[in-house]
Structure 1
Amino acid sequence: MRKRRYMGMAASMLLAASILGACSDKGGAIEKGANAGNVNETGMPIVKETIKVDGFAAKFFASQNWDDLMLWNEYEDMTNIEMDWTTVQTEALAEKRNLLLTGGDYPEVFFASAFSKTDLIKYGEQGIFLPLNDYIDKYAPNFKKLLDEYPSVKQGVTMADGNIYGFPTIYDPQFEALRAGAPWMKKEWLDNLGLKEPETTEDFYKVLKAFKENDPNGNGQPDEMGWGGGYGIDTFINFLRGSFGLNKQGSMNINLDFKEGTEEFRFVPTTDEYKELLMYMNRLYSEGLINKDVFTTTPQEFTAESSKGQYGFLNSIDPEELMKLDGYVGMPVLEGPNGERAYNAVSNGLGNLGMFVLTDKAENPEAMVRWMDYFYGDEGTKMFFMGFEGVTYEENEKGEFKYLDVITDNPDGLNMDQAISEYLTWPGGYYPGIVKQKFFQGAESKDNSRLNAEKVKPFRIKDDDILPGLNYTVEENDQVGAIMTDIQTYIKESTAAFITGKMDFSKWDEYVKTIDKMGVDKYMEIAQGAYDRMKDE
């Protein structure tokens, strides 16, 4: 791979000029600065004369050198924009990112830096993050088209002050397998025991019990397990929320849904339905039907354990893709004890909002908005996820894309993520842009995951019913943070205690009263106000 080219002195001198952008409360009109005439409004290259831009990014693989990576080298040739990258491992991202901002030594561009809504509105109102509304209108046709096509996404990325401060990760709402999928079920074990697929929560309990007690693998050993997962108890709870009548407005505001027949919020973790769900989970846990280490195991540890094939049901991506375990199919969405049968833990497709941010040090904001927008269109998405034809992928006569053997069957023994990371940056999941099934080659794009999603879809919450995440003002954010930090910790601890039996359900009323005393009413008032404000816009 070629080494990175560096600009000559003439191009470097362009950086001495700055773009002065005077912005109103809602994005402001763009005032053309000294470098504005260097930007081509359409086509490539983005700028006529090469510019160099200071960027900070999170990366998953320590071995990557972003200053000499094929993706960025090729994109530099296309755009005439050379990124001077400072990168940090995702584990150290929050600390390093915050130190840069508090110390004032921050870059022009933050890429894959996962800023929260709280950070976006905070640093946006301080003037450190640029409002992007007008730049998007003029220089980001791909992203603007997505906002027009998905109004819920536009609502989600627009802060309470009317500004957009970051480009997000978007999971294409038409990519069903990324949005909704049931746990995986070992079909062979059902057949061996003469059982039907479970249709209700009670059926599910009986199947789990049979798997654990009746030797479905036929080896004469009591080594079968029921339902397992390595990402904590929330993945279990989220699958069952719709079965217990919870979160009928989706999962973007996980603690909130509407009181029946109204648009008035209730606090989900204190509802009778949530209590009933936890009682069901306690029943499964106390009888050994879910993995006992669910509260402590890591994804890596659980993957190693579950790869032995001893679980009847798995919270996972397709076990065949992840662990080479055959015979798993998606399980049905379950009807709950009150006749509810729905899959409600679904978002509007909007991931982290702050994945690409421009700071007030950005000298070429027009160019950098164009630079980012490319990855929201098909050509940029294909390059970002598939790489380069003849190098990392090939296209067949049907127009379908497939990684070459150097990626999928690497001669050096690298797995797919390791192999593709020698060319691209997406493995690990930190990136702005849009994830489309056509260009994404992870497990979710394979046939098994597609079939799983199709099985779920008749019961999945309708898109029109999904609320985007609520956006608060800076003052509201401070209040919500002060209230909800302690409440969320208490809910997490109490949920675990109820499920494991360390806290008896006779203590439920005491649990609810404790949350009331912690100020949940004020949070509900703020949340309702944020929703009413969004609804009226």
Structure 2
Amino acid sequence: MKKKSLWLLGMLIAMMLFVVACGNDDDASSSDGGDSASESTDGENTEGSEGCEEPTTYKFFDASKSDDDLNTAETKLGKMFEEETCVNFDIEHIVGDVNQKIGTMIASGEYPHLMNAEQSTDAVIDAGGFVPLNDLIEEHAPNIKKWYGPYLEFMKRSDGNIYIIPSGASNGYIKPPNIYQGAWWIKRDVLREMDYPQPKTLDDFFDIIEEYVSNNPQIDGMDTIGFTALTDDWRFFALSNQPNHLAGYPNDGGVQVDLETHEAKVYNNNEDTKRWLEKLNEVHHKGLVDQEMFTQNYDEYLAKISTGRVVGFFDYHWQVADALNTIREDEDFYSEYMAFPVVFEEGIKDQYLDPVGFAASPGQGITVNTTEEERIEIIKFLDYLMQEEIQKMITWGIEGETYSVDEDGMFYQTEEQFAQTSVDSFRREFGFRTFEWGWPRLNGLFDDGNAVEARNQPSVAQLAYNDVDKEFLDAYGIETFAELFSEPDERPWYPAYDAPIETGSQAQLYEQQLDDLMKRTYPGMIFADEGDFESLWNSYSEEFEKLPIEEFEKVMTEYIDNKVRVAEEAAAAAE
């Protein structure tokens, strides 16, 4: 059965569930978790906490992004939510090494009330740091049940427990107008000077960089950087994933999955990876590769891009958004970057746009440093956020203030509304930046056909384009920037990168040893003297073959097969 049908039918099952609403009428100064909400047949909380004088503050540690620490009630949305639920959160964002920070928590046994442990999620679960959420969801979270219904089985670990609520329950597919995932980016100034070339292959991409650097050895008095990459800490995947994408595969978590057999195979020692590293070595000798690529930290990497001195790079938009937003806010529109779906050679279908999918991890978990009453109150707050009307507030804002509605019920923005919601300082103060990611939320479409994210609504996307944007759209004969990218193939298992890897297992050992091996050997291969690459690659391959590859591939293949099975069973039950 086609994947889209599987997911849509799965959603029908969830939508048929009888759900009840729950609110929080707790005493103003305590977290007693009393469940006195009114009931509703639409699965949404309809009653808040009237007469709340002293809200309860919980601590939330968010390792998913670096940002300013704040209390949610310091934002407009957060204050409104506090008035309804009598709950707010002190959010601490990650600074420094995630694994070290989480490791300290595990060693001490001291956790915040709510936590997103990002890549250390499995370690926290194995250490007993998160509490099971099954009963809490069943008894107190009708909206989470409603929207996450098709995915609850995916959220269960091997012990049958759900510990994490990920940020994103897909509800239909909409092709984004712009690129928010992985792509190969080239500075617009470069494209304009060279009469708008369209790189389709890796050779095309570097040919453009080479020609431009040759003619422009400096940009604004600084040495031009032809190509750089993000390699800092856990973000190393931004470099190691590149050969996988070039070969026409999506980001499935260190494996390439056969569309027919669903067999997962690692690629870090196959011809795709060798071809990519050898190409980097080649362009290094032409002076095109950033010599600080393996020593710069994340902030330094972003700073280089925001200065406009980098000609091209590969990365996921969400990792470079701060740098790209900085350039746009400065209205230096020709210093912005345009995304291209580069592959090794023509004929390979690009897979940069994500298909409908569900990642069970990372996400938010309630920690053991909570009482039963506190757990109930926290899960009720998370469930409150999953009301469809609250979701619309989180992504669109307030009708008449940040968006409007036409006679057909479709959301749109006036030019003034769009300009206001495009300013980062406003997004922070309003609460968009705080709530739109990291918490339980929807992806794709609302049931009324509106895009969950305003930026994906066609009318808003068109409104977002300035004269320089339109210049490039016209030059490439497209109406949106994502038009250059192929529609994704259907993958019922996507993504596989959320597969739970048991700590201490051979599969986990593979991931750790591979990470160490790549970080130790990739710099040497990329910056190798001419003629030395082949021997260094052979040495790397010999070490790679000693890793527990088969154990990792087995775990990944079994996980993919299980995802496909659950999707098929959900579809069959709906027929």
Q: TM-score, normalised by structure 2?
A: 0.69
Whole-Å Cα distance in 1 between the matches of residues 311 and 367 of structure 2? 48
Q: 1:424: which partner in 2?
A: 431
- How far does residue 251 in structure 1 lie from its aligned partner after superposition? 1.6
Whole-Å Cα distance in 1 between the matches of residues 358 and 179 of structure 2? 9
Aligned length: 491
Q: Which amino acid aligns with 1:374?
A: Y
Whole-Å Cα distance in 1 between the matches of residues 423 and 241 of structure 2? 29
- 1:460-517 deviation line (CA, Å, top 9, x unaligned): 444447343354475x654433343122111232223222226622232332221232
- Partner of residue 64 from structure 1, selected from 54, 61, 70: 70
Whole-Å Cα distance in 1 between the matches of residues 74 and 374 of structure 2? 23
- How far does residue 118 in structure 1 lie from its aligned partner after superposition? 0.8
- Partner of residue 516 from structure 1, selected from 523, 536, 545: 545
Whole-Å Cα distance in 2 between the matches of residues 10 and 194 of structure 1? 66
Q: Structure 2 regions of 5+ residues with no counterpart? A: 1-23, 315-319, 444-450, 474-478, 567-575
Question: In 2 relative to 1, CA 457–133 (structure 1 residues): closer, same or farther, beyond 3 Å?
Answer: farther
Q: How does 1:203-352 map to 2 (within 5 A)?
A: 203-215=204-216, 224-229=224-229, 234-235=237-238, 238-245=241-248, 248=249, 250-253=250-253, 255-258=254-257, 262-315=261-314, 316-317=320-321, 318=324, 321=328, 324-327=331-334, 328=336, 330-337=338-345, 339-344=347-352, 346=354, 348=357, 350=359, 352=361
Whole-Å Cα distance in 1 between the matches of residues 222 and 27 of structure 2? 74
SS at match of 1:454: helix
- 1:416-462 deviation line (CA, Å, top 9, x unaligned): 444443442735986213366654569x964469923232134x444
Question: In 2 relative to 1, CA 528–174 (structure 1 residues): closer, same or farther, beyond 3 Å?
Answer: same
Q: How does 1:398-409 map to 2 (within 5 A)?
A: 399-401=411-413, 408=420
In the alignment, structure 1 residue 82 sits paired with structure 2 residue 110 = no
Whole-Å Cα distance in 1 between the matches of residues 415 and 116 of structure 2? 24
- How far does residue 110 in structure 1 lie from its aligned partner after superposition? 0.4
SS at match of 2:486: helix
Q: Which amino acid aligns with 1:75?
A: F
Q: 1:158: which partner in 2?
A: 156
- How far does residue 192 in structure 1 lie from its aligned partner after superposition? 3.7
* 8 A contact 1:181–1:456 mirrored in 2: no
Q: 2:496: which partner in 1?
A: 468
- How far does residue 114 in structure 1 lie from its aligned partner after superposition? 4.0
Q: 1:174: which partner in 2?
A: 174
Q: 1:24: which partner in 2?
A: none
Q: How does 1:480-499 map to 2 (within 5 A)?
A: 480-499=507-526
- 1:289-331 deviation line (CA, Å, top 9, x unaligned): 3433222334443444444544443554457526533245634
- Partner of residue 73 from structure 1, selected from 73, 76, 79: 79
SS at match of 2:87: strand
Question: In 2 relative to 1, CA 200–406 (structure 1 residues): closer, same or farther, beyond 3 Å?
Answer: closer
Question: In 2 relative to 1, CA 179–277 (structure 1 residues): closer, same or farther, beyond 3 Å?
Answer: same
In the alignment, structure 1 residue 433 sits paired with structure 2 residue 433 = no
Q: 1:500: which partner in 2?
A: 527
Identity %: 17
Question: In 2 relative to 1, CA 323–374 (structure 1 residues): closer, same or farther, beyond 3 Å?
Answer: same
Q: 1:28: which partner in 2?
A: none
- Partner of residue 95 from structure 2, selected from 82, 87, 91: 91
- 1:335-383 deviation line (CA, Å, top 9, x unaligned): 4248424235847363853324264623165554332123234422343
Q: 2:122: which partner in 1?
A: 118
Question: In 2 relative to 1, CA 465–205 (structure 1 residues): closer, same or farther, beyond 3 Å?
Answer: farther
- Partner of residue 366 from structure 2, selected from 323, 347, 357: 357
Question: In 2 relative to 1, CA 386–358 (structure 1 residues): closer, same or farther, beyond 3 Å?
Answer: farther
Q: 1:375: which partner in 2?
A: 385
* 8 A contact 2:38–2:46 mirrored in 1: no
Q: Which amino acid aligns with 2:84?
A: M
Whole-Å Cα distance in 1 between the matches of residues 295 and 83 of structure 2? 47
Whole-Å Cα distance in 2 between the matches of residues 115 and 243 of structure 1? 25
- 1:249-284 deviation line (CA, Å, top 9, x unaligned): x3232x212468643332210112211121122222
Q: Structure 1 regions of 5+ residues with no counterpart? A: 1-6, 19-34, 410-414
SS at match of 1:183: strand
SS at match of 2:481: helix
* 8 A contact 2:341–2:350 mirrored in 1: yes
SS at match of 1:91: coil
Whole-Å Cα distance in 2 between the matches of residues 88 and 335 of structure 1? 39
- 1:190-221 deviation line (CA, Å, top 9, x unaligned): 454457322222222322221122359999x9
Q: TM-score, normalised by structure 1?
A: 0.73
- How far does residue 243 in structure 1 lie from its aligned partner after superposition? 2.8
Whole-Å Cα distance in 2 between the matches of residues 218 and 64 of structure 1? 38
Whole-Å Cα distance in 1 between the matches of residues 297 and 525 of structure 2? 21
Whole-Å Cα distance in 1 between the matches of residues 297 and 311 of structure 2? 19
Whole-Å Cα distance in 2 between the matches of residues 262 and 71 of structure 1? 46
* 8 A contact 1:135–1:369 mirrored in 2: yes
- How far does residue 95 in structure 1 lie from its aligned partner after superposition? 6.0
Question: In 2 relative to 1, CA 155–280 (structure 1 residues): closer, same or farther, beyond 3 Å?
Answer: farther
Report the aligned-residue RMSD.
4.6
Q: Which amino acid aligns with 2:60?
A: A
Q: Which of 480-489 and 62-71 deviates more?
A: 62-71
Q: Which amino acid aligns with 2:431?
A: L
Whole-Å Cα distance in 2 between the matches of residues 456 and 289 of structure 1? 26
- How far does residue 181 in structure 1 lie from its aligned partner after superposition? 4.9
* 8 A contact 2:137–2:144 mirrored in 1: yes
Whole-Å Cα distance in 1 between the matches of residues 185 and 30 of structure 2? 58
Q: 2:573: which partner in 1?
A: none
- 1:159-205 deviation line (CA, Å, top 9, x unaligned): 22333212111286536346535333345544544573222222223
